[in-house]
Structure 1
């Protein structure tokens, strides 16, 4: 790092590279610092697990579950992703209905970071300078992440006839947030593809709940953990028969979800697939809504979005366009100036 700083050579720390938005794809000619062969450390107490960034999430989950624990929130790419990469680039995942972003509500207790100007240990709110910063504020060398007791979550299917019923039941499920690990919403077209040979019957609309409580018909859909969030549209690219496969994602409130999806379905019917991961952001139920169709149909979808005042598209290689809270962005900028004054760490990803 000192040598790169002296000669102003860009340096990009890289984990497993499982992100779908290009955080570790260099904008400038760079040296790539592969973190995968770093020494692995996993240590646990009642509330936290201490790890080095190279540790695979799947290995951590196996370690924790043997001890009756699991990560509070983890990504759908858990079987290939590293924890350092998830901290630096991820935000939501399995458990986000209960807890929101993985770094919210003290999700990261502490993080040790190597900057160009030295070594730093960040605690509490200061850890938000590193979370979701794509390695622009320093190279993670160790972190303490929140863990919870492992429970035997049962996947349950609730079949519904219309979107109004979907929104109504999601509001009801919000009253049981602490007992619900995750919720997904699938239209008939999406679930009949991913659930083929696994389900006898698929509804027009389907709400799938992982919970210790009883809400619907118990089904064996553990594979859905691997199809959450970004994984669904990667998987669907192989399953659908769309000739010019394309997708867009929007974060929608329950009311916006009802209005937008209803119009999109009326316009395109079975020519669009809808998948939604339900999460809680700052106390509000938000649906990470994926629209999947032929690319030509997105003029219609985008026109509906614009009419409803929803132009925001969450995929951007620049951190500034993804961080949705100004104070977190300002914290990243503050520590960027402290740790990397010459902007050699993943330059071009954080606008100062």
Structure 2
């Protein structure tokens, strides 16, 4: 190990550090609130602040020679352990890489260190925006989102960010060289947590920017939520996002900014009029995985825990009704509505005391609904076998010695 560190010092000089404070910060995943995953991290061996592709190539060459793991790190906003080193690793910090944004009518070309917020600001000045982007847009990088994320603002209209040609091309760097992937082959990188190559450039989809109005619909019964969502599916192109909150969850996240809260609350952004217009743009920052990070700070649960399930409308109705009947106000329900393979799916978050999840899991088991959010491996989150097979194929080609974020992809 000492030989490797000396070689890094000779090759990179001040760009490489073994300073304990920097290593400790780079070894953390600050937005990881899973009590299971957060116990899996190891301390990094050193941190390299890369400036360009050559730095990445040289670092991978050295690490591959010594069979030392490498983890690429951007803003570190992943909630699923993407940037958490679970083996002693060299961290490649990409935040100092050159930022580049180029766009045309349908696509924007970015380098991985570009912050999502910066890309959105750049595009909106030109009447465009990213087709789908994460709720952590104000802090996250696009490289990290492509490699680890899948849903976000715009998923009701378009589904996963990488679905339906959401990514036109990706350039990756691995121990075996550079690879330029096009079309379907880009799915070997999207959501693969950096296990199949380090992104150096990507071409992602944009859409025309519209003046979305936030609206609130309050209802008393869960069945009414389902009826409204079925109706809203007829206007998908005019609705940017939809969130469902029970009264307890909405009270916490709105922090008094809403005068009246319903038993069930549907919040949507649309160019059409469906409900009371309200100023809830802050909810963009609380969508999907961001909600359980936020709730970990807002709730009074002594042993905070959460689980996520991807539920169809009928399953959402059945499962949530049973969970609420069993736990009432002791469980918080948040749902982000998206479209996957032409079906409305609700990214449903259950938040409660850990002891209550025996009840919740028993209901899930009875309904035959599998999903594993507390897993470090992408295999347990990727929901299409052909994408997993693509990831495995390119893992073997690009990284035959398995030094890129090892332990995150089962072969």
Instruction: Tell me the TM-score normalized by structure 2.
Output: 0.84
Partner of residue 46, structure 1? 105
1:203-232, Cα deviation, whole Å (9 max, x unpaired): 111111110011000000000000001111
Structure number with larger C-alpha Rg: 2
Structure of higher RCO (CA pairs closer than 8 Å, 6+ residues apart): 1
**Structure 2: how far apart are the matches of 1:272 and 1:261?**
10
Say which SS state the counterpart of residue 277 (structure 1) adopts: strand
Whether 1:314 aligns to 2:411 is: no
Say which SS state the counterpart of residue 143 (structure 2) adopts: helix
Which of 147, 151, 158 aligns to 1:92? It is: 151
**Structure 1: how far apart are the matches of 2:144 and 2:253?**
27
Whether 1:155 aligns to 2:214 is: yes
**Structure 2: how far apart are the matches of 1:274 and 1:77?**
20
1:121-179, Cα deviation, whole Å (9 max, x unpaired): 11111111110111111111000110000000001101101000000110111111111
Partner of residue 291, structure 2? 232
**Structure 2: how far apart are the matches of 1:299 and 1:315?**
15
Say which SS state the counterpart of residue 39 (structure 1) adopts: coil
5+ unaligned residues in a row in structure 2: which ranges?
Answer: 1-59
**Structure 2: how far apart are the matches of 1:175 and 1:191?**
26
**Structure 1: how far apart are the matches of 2:407 and 2:294?**
30
Partner of residue 189, structure 1? 248
Say which SS state the counterpart of residue 227 (structure 2) adopts: helix
1:49-75, Cα deviation, whole Å (9 max, x unpaired): 111000000111111111111000011
Conservation of the 8 A alpha-carbon contact between 2:80 and 2:373: no
Say which SS state the counterpart of residue 170 (structure 1) adopts: helix
* C-alpha displacement of 1:247: 1.3
What's the C-alpha RMSD, in Å, of the aligned pairs?
0.9
Conservation of the 8 A alpha-carbon contact between 2:215 and 2:268: yes
Whether 1:168 aligns to 2:227 is: yes
**Structure 1: how far apart are the matches of 2:369 and 2:294?**
26
Partner of residue 115, structure 2? 56
**Structure 2: how far apart are the matches of 1:271 and 1:3?**
52
Say which SS state the counterpart of residue 97 (structure 1) adopts: helix
* C-alpha displacement of 1:120: 1.1
* C-alpha displacement of 1:311: 3.5
* C-alpha displacement of 1:313: 2.3
* C-alpha displacement of 1:243: 2.2
* C-alpha displacement of 1:244: 2.0
Partner of residue 218, structure 1? 277
Partner of residue 128, structure 1? 187
* C-alpha displacement of 1:317: 1.2
Alignment of 1:199-278 (within 5 A): 199-278=258-337
Farther-moved stretch of structure 1 (192-201 vs 211-220): 192-201
Whether 1:74 aligns to 2:126 is: no
Farther-moved stretch of structure 1 (219-228 vs 13-22): 13-22
Whether 1:295 aligns to 2:372 is: no
Conservation of the 8 A alpha-carbon contact between 2:308 and 2:371: no
**Structure 2: how far apart are the matches of 1:291 and 1:85?**
25
**Structure 2: how far apart are the matches of 1:311 and 1:71?**
31
1:272-294, Cα deviation, whole Å (9 max, x unpaired): 11110000111110101111111
Conservation of the 8 A alpha-carbon contact between 1:315 and 1:322: no
5+ unaligned residues in a row in structure 1: which ranges?
Answer: none
Conservation of the 8 A alpha-carbon contact between 2:372 and 2:380: no
Say which SS state the counterpart of residue 244 (structure 2) adopts: strand
